[in-house]
Chain A
Amino acid sequence: MYTSLAFSFMPYKTILSPRASITTQDNKNVYRTKVSRNPTMEKLQYNYLFPEISEREAQHAKKYPNAKIISLGIGDTTEPLPDVVASSMANYAYSLSTRTGYRGYGAEQGSKDLRKAIAETFYKDMGIQGAEVFVSDGAQCDISRLQMLFGSNMSIAVQDPIFPAYIDSSVIIGQTGDVEQGSGRYQNIEYMRCDPHHNFFPDLSKTARTDIIFFCSPNNPTGHAASWEQLEQLVKLAQENGSIIVYDSAYAVYITDGSPRSIYEIPGAKKVAIEVSSFSKIAGFTGVRLGWTVVPKELLYSNGFPVINDFNRIICTCFNGASRIAQAGGLASLSSEGFKSVMSLVDYYKSNAEILLETFESLGLKAYGGVNAPYLWVHFPGSNSWDVFNEILEKTHIITVPGSGFGPAGKEYIRVTAFGHRENILEASDRLRSLLL
């Protein structure tokens, strides 16, 4: 955390000041280069959402040093890695100190074994080969590398509400205009409203054509997993508009109800979609750093050039491969024993979600999600989510995430994650009951 300079988050009702800009008065005597600040960075209105939440937690801890803060905010995994996964990494690390085991640079695209294992585990019968899988240090990094790939002359569409990395990376790379002060939306981004009343799926007939469509399912933050029919519509729209879908399936393993786990389950998707995923929420690799992106060979630019060729060039130039140790862990997590053990962790978090769903239901609050994703999207009608966030924090010492951090459509919602030790989930439930009953 860059705690020495704490910037504030600017919600609609401004409680805290907006992101500070340095005025001439502040550092008159300080030497300045003649290099202009990147104007795209200036467009960013707020700090990135999750460091802001961390900062609030830190401030709260200072204010209440004896409080037992329970974090249901940042979606951070909490349970230890299964032994089979951890020991594979421990052994691999040790082998690097042996003459026969030492390895230097790996292929930038990832180890062949791991690429193949990912294809076989997650894309079985979908015709995705190992050569179309690019192993990375995580989805957040991949999203920005995809933006570098696409360049600044692209228009993007995002769900609203949505995980902020797609929007923020789009602003940084220069695809957007300025933010509209009233709505908090950036110009030149097409926001596809996802409401409970419309099954958390956008009205595609009202969606303007964009080059790229970011689509996250199961969704962060709403927890909604798009149905087969919905994804068919999405692929159809992409085909009609000649758009590329960037499909974020990081939470696919949380699906309970048979909804599609990959965009490539939809016929024709390989010609219109890239898929990004991650070991973070599958194997607890949030700190270990491992993910992947699938770019099908059939995906072509308007001039016929394969997107995969350019993505490969980006990977070889702007990246140097995921850590070999992390890749060893990834491979172990996809072994038959490993996969069983990471899935039981997923089940653990899913049970947490069930507990939280029951809690909110018993309080008469409508909580969406929690069935196909480790997130609950709780509705507080007529409220401002930052106010609700603050009240929950002050009165129960529970960190959540205000819905408006995910876009204007999140204004009346709070995102609650299901990651946590069981006892903390139960304790949090008790505290919420005492607050809201």
Chain B
Amino acid sequence: MSAIHQNVSTSLSASTSTFLSHNNLKSLRPSHVSVAGRMSAVVKCVATPSAEKTAYKTDVARNENLAKLQAGYLFPEIARRRNAHIAKNPDAKVISLGIGDTTEPIPEVITSAMSKRSEVLSTVSGYSGYGAEQGEQKLRAAIASTYYAGLGIEENDIFVSDGAKSDISRLQVLFGSNVTMAVQDPSYPAYVDSSVILGQTGLFQTDVEKYANIEYMRCTPENGFFPDLSTVRRTDIIFFCSPNNPTGSAASREQLTKLVQFAKENGSIIVYDSAYAMYVSDDSPRSIFEIPGAREVALEVSSFSKYAGFTGVRLGWTAIPKELHYSDGFPVAKDFNRIVCTCFNGASNIAQAGGLACVSPEGIKAMHEVVGFYKENTAIIVDTFNSLGFKVYGGKNAPYVWVHFPGRSSWDVFSEILEKTHVVTTPGSGFGPGGEGFVRVSAFGHRENVLEACRRFKELYK
């Protein structure tokens, strides 16, 4: 069993791959990717037959849903490749524009609130234990008034969490295995992967690179990154992220009105991911609830991660309108509340203190400055690729630039950029088959690194 243990111990640490293919313990495929659009570079868990025979196994069957997953989650794989590259090129100055990880310090008005709360926890009068699972009332109220003023979303509709990723899975637990879902293609991989884990999908179909029973709504430059809803089958749940990760496209009011109408006609529920709403530069809606009728068909997930640099602090929220009901009339929010009380125990009180500072007038101003800084980065990256003659999308309403490399495998482009410029990006096919031929460049980084990366891009592609 030593082969397995070796792979496990090297590949499960933070910086190396969790990208173990789960399906075939006996084969070992090469780590160099050459198949178009296929994320098939895997470090596989290998068991030698003799080791298998002697190692004790329980009689507990592996969850077959986990076995359906084709590979590790996308971003740990990007991290693994980055670290492997750093190891191979110790003198190279590797610049990360891959994982959308914030880099700039959190404004002091926010960190000082968290420091203060930490200190207060060491006092008799200030110590608090368990908080309300739904979040501290003041914070719920402040989120409602900051982001949903006039939209009919009140403080008790807000559920504070440790982040959108956790919320997405809790929503899947809420919905259960008997629901069908639609996603944009390409999309942030957590929606699809959590759907597979919860048993909502069939097997992965390698010819089309899609899981059976998920409706993939293609978003391309040709359709303005908004799906042709007349070709979309009815599903129970529709995941919709806008501004979009990875394409950077923000849906217009007209588009979202169509989406809400579509959901209303089909009796579907929209899970609207608005984690990048503060990056909107034009008059695109920042919340689904700006659309009339949306409260009856949608819930919204968001996060402080990309607004306040809270990627490591962990704070987000989900807004569920009172008007959202299941087919039997039962309010969705009631069941979500039960999930939150049973499967969760509230976001960290220190993070929540930071969140409250975030939505103070000073904090909002500070967040806008940080967001503004990343938006300037985005503009620099957009200009660079434009000047090199690439077709560039996104970058206006989101901190992501979606660059087209027609006819090329996105993993090949990823590798080429990494090898030749030491810059980490994210291959589009990691976000779904609709991402093939594109590379996502994220705009989070110190200004000098973004400028340097752009210099290197210019060198490579001049």
Contact present for A304 and B57 (CB under 8 Å): yes
Interface residues on A, range: 35 or more
Q: Which of B218-245 contact A (CB under 8 A)?
A: 236-237
Contact present for A104 and B342 (CB under 8 Å): no
Contact present for B343 and A317 (CB under 8 Å): no
* Smallest CB separation, B162 vs chain A (Å): 6
Check A198 for interface membership: any CB of B closer than 8 A: no
**Among A129, A287, A305, contact of B349 (Cβ-Cβ < 8 Å):** A287
**How far, in angstroms, from A298 to B61 measured CA to CA in the complex?**
15
Check A388 for interface membership: any CB of B closer than 8 A: no
**Among B9, B325, B351, contact of A323 (Cβ-Cβ < 8 Å):** B351
**Among B1, B5, B72, B197, contact of A318 (Cβ-Cβ < 8 Å):** B197
Check A183 for interface membership: any CB of B closer than 8 A: no
Contact present for A80 and B126 (CB under 8 Å): yes
| Residue on A nearest B263 in the bound complex, by CB | A33
Check B65 for interface membership: any CB of A closer than 8 A: yes
**Among A22, A35, A102, A308, contact of B105 (Cβ-Cβ < 8 Å):** A102
Check A397 for interface membership: any CB of B closer than 8 A: no
Check B262 for interface membership: any CB of A closer than 8 A: no
**How far, in angstroms, from A96 to B76 measured CA to CA in the complex?**
23
Most chain B CB atoms below 10 A, which of A98, A241, A323: A323
Residues 371-394 of B, flagged 1 when their CB comes within 8 A of A and 0 if not, give 000000000000000000000000
Q: Which of A155-211 contact B (CB under 8 A)?
A: 165, 168-169, 172-174, 211
Which of B11-19, B283-291, B430-438 contacts its partner? Answer: B11-19
Residues of A within 8 A of B194 (CB): 317-318
Check B324 for interface membership: any CB of A closer than 8 A: yes
**How far, in angstroms, from A98 to B5 measured CA to CA in the complex?**
39
**How far, in angstroms, from A314 to B345 measured CA to CA in the complex?**
18
* Smallest CB separation, B354 vs chain A (Å): 7
Check A66 for interface membership: any CB of B closer than 8 A: no
Contact present for A148 and B198 (CB under 8 Å): yes
**How far, in angstroms, from A323 to B75 measured CA to CA in the complex?**
19
**How far, in angstroms, from A254 to B277 measured CA to CA in the complex?**
47
Which of A41-49, A226-234, A406-414 contacts its partner? Answer: A41-49
Which of A83-91, A119-127, A217-225, A258-266 contacts its partner? Answer: A83-91
Check A40 for interface membership: any CB of B closer than 8 A: yes
Contact present for A284 and B127 (CB under 8 Å): yes
**How far, in angstroms, from A103 to B178 measured CA to CA in the complex?**
39
Check A38 for interface membership: any CB of B closer than 8 A: yes
Contact present for B58 and A37 (CB under 8 Å): no
Which of A135-143, A354-362, A426-434 contacts its partner? Answer: A135-143
Residues of B within 8 A of A60 (CB): none
Check B252 for interface membership: any CB of A closer than 8 A: no
Q: Which of A230-244 contact B (CB under 8 A)?
A: 238-239, 241-244
| Residue on A nearest B164 in the bound complex, by CB | A320
Contact present for B267 and A152 (CB under 8 Å): no
Contact present for A30 and B57 (CB under 8 Å): no
Contact present for A323 and B348 (CB under 8 Å): yes
Contact present for B62 and A140 (CB under 8 Å): no
**How far, in angstroms, from A132 to B52 measured CA to CA in the complex?**
20
Residues of B within 8 A of A4 (CB): 156
Check A8 for interface membership: any CB of B closer than 8 A: no
Contact present for B8 and A37 (CB under 8 Å): no
Which of B33-41, B113-121, B201-209, B453-461 contacts its partner? Answer: B113-121
Q: Which of A67-90 contact B (CB under 8 A)?
A: 74, 76-83, 85-87, 89-90
Chain A interface, DSSP helix/strand/loop, else mixed: loop
Contact present for A41 and B131 (CB under 8 Å): no
Which of B141-149, B309-317, B403-411, B421-429 contacts its partner? Answer: B309-317
**Among B132, B169, B324, B350, contact of A148 (Cβ-Cβ < 8 Å):** B169
Residues 267-290 of A, flagged 1 when their CB comes within 8 A of B and 0 if not, give 000011000000000001011110
| Residue on A nearest B113 in the bound complex, by CB | A93
Contact present for A313 and B327 (CB under 8 Å): no
**How far, in angstroms, from A235 to B20 measured CA to CA in the complex?**
30
**Among B25, B124, B126, B313, contact of A304 (Cβ-Cβ < 8 Å):** B25
| Residue on A nearest B122 in the bound complex, by CB | A86
Q: Which of A6-60 contact B (CB under 8 A)?
A: 21-24, 26-27, 30-41, 44, 47-48, 50-51
Residues of A within 8 A of B115 (CB): 89-91, 93-94
Contact present for A325 and B351 (CB under 8 Å): yes
| Residue on B nearest A139 in the bound complex, by CB | B345
Check B278 for interface membership: any CB of A closer than 8 A: no
Given contact pairs A41-B174, A174-B176, A174-B177, A96 touches B111 in the complex (Cβ within 8 A): yes
**Among B60, B133, B338, contact of A44 (Cβ-Cβ < 8 Å):** B338
Residues of A within 8 A of B175 (CB): 35, 38
Contact present for B106 and A301 (CB under 8 Å): no
Check A64 for interface membership: any CB of B closer than 8 A: no
Residues of A within 8 A of B18 (CB): 312-313, 316
Contact present for B55 and A300 (CB under 8 Å): yes
Given contact pairs A34-B267, A287-B131, A287-B348, A97 touches B111 in the complex (Cβ within 8 A): yes
Contact present for B326 and A106 (CB under 8 Å): no
Given contact pairs A86-B122, A297-B8, A302 touches B62 in the complex (Cβ within 8 A): yes
Check B347 for interface membership: any CB of A closer than 8 A: yes
Contact present for A317 and B57 (CB under 8 Å): no
Residues of A within 8 A of B72 (CB): 313, 316
A-B contact pairs, 7 of them (CB 8 A): A31-B325, A35-B326, A90-B118, A151-B66, A212-B60, A244-B58, A317-B165
Ranked 4 nearest A-B pairs via Cβ: A242-B59, A34-B267, A107-B14, A38-B176
Given A83-B122, A104-B103: 5 more A-B contacts, CB < 8 Å: A36-B236, A48-B338, A306-B4, A308-B12, A317-B194
Residues of B participating in the A interface, judged by any CB pair closer than 8 Å? 1, 4-5, 8-9, 12-15, 18, 20, 22, 25, 45, 47, 52, 55-66, 69, 72-73, 75-76, 99, 101-108, 110-112, 114-116, 118-119, 121-124, 126-134, 156, 162-163, 165-166, 168-169, 173-179, 190, 193-194, 197-199, 236-237, 263-264, 266-269, 296-297, 309, 311-314, 323-331, 334-335, 337-339, 341-351, 354, 444
